[in-house]
Structure 1
Amino acid sequence: MISVSIDEEVLLEIYREEVQKKLEAADKELVYWDTPELKRRVCMSWNTIQETFFHDPRFPKHKIGSKWYYPAKETEEFLLVWFEEQYLAGKKRRSLV
């Protein structure tokens, strides 16, 4: 009789790694994000986006017709810098108190 035993933790880790690879590949396929994709990526409402970074002159955006588009790579780079700036500004405010 043949018996097969599977370590569920190892199997789960392999599964996670493969899903992560697929997600990264899908991210690389997007050249532009639309507004729903931007909202999903930053986990913010449209109003919050407009109140915080949308009008920052460094934020890359293009309006085509009535719809906004955001170049994926440049937008991601901007957001990483912007979030770091917000974190450091908040840290500085806390140290002043």
Structure 2
Amino acid sequence: MLNVKVDELEVIKLCREQVQKIVQDVEGEYVFWDSAELKKRTCMSWNFIQELFFYDPRFTKRKIGGKWYFPAKETREFLEAWLKEQSH
């Protein structure tokens, strides 16, 4: 018979460290998105984005040259809030 003892506090500590590392990696992935990334992240076409929320004054965007850029953190926060509002 095999008997294994696990230090539960150590396992919890290791799990928290790994989760924190993953979160930091994801958050540090992009500073801003371009329109292609926005379409990818929302699973929406450019026309649909424009119809639904592009012109919402709360939606932060900057046009540099002929290309749109969106700050990743603010865009993610806006999209999460916007989606919750759609259930009303």
Could you tell me the TM-score, scaled by structure 2's length?
0.71
| Structure 1: gaps (5+ residues) | 1-16, 90-97
Query: Unaligned regions of 5+ residues in structure 2, if any?
Result: 1-17
How many residue pairs are counted as aligned between the two chains?
69
Find the aligned partners of 2:80 and 2:28 in 1 and give their Cα distance: 17
Question: Residue type of the partner of 1:82?
Answer: W
Q: Kindly state the Cα deviation for residue 30 of structure 1 after the two structures are TM-superposed.
A: 0.4
SS of the aligned residue for 2:33 comes to strand
- The equivalent of 1:73 in structure 2 is 73
Q: In structure 1, what residue type is equivalent to 2:52?
A: T
Larger relative contact order, structure 1 or 2 (CA cutoff 8 Å, min sep 6): 2
Per-residue deviation, 1:42: 0.5
Is 2:31 the counterpart of 1:31? yes
Deviation at 1:71, TM superposition (A): 0.2
Tell me by how many angstroms 1:24 deviates: 6.3
Cα RMSD, aligned residues only? 1.9
2:59 alignment partner, SS class: coil
User: Between Structure 1 and Structure 2, which shows a larger proportion of helix residues?
Assistant: 1
SS in structure 1 opposite 2:28? Answer: helix
Identity of aligned residues (%): 58
Structure 1 runs, 4 residues or longer, greater than 6 Å off: none
Quote the residue 1:58 is aligned against.
Answer: 58
SS at structure 2 position matched to 1:29: coil
Q: TM-score, normalised by structure 1?
A: 0.64
Identify if the C-alpha distance between structure 1 residues 36 and 24 changes in structure 2 by more than 3 Å, giving closer, same or farther. Answer: farther
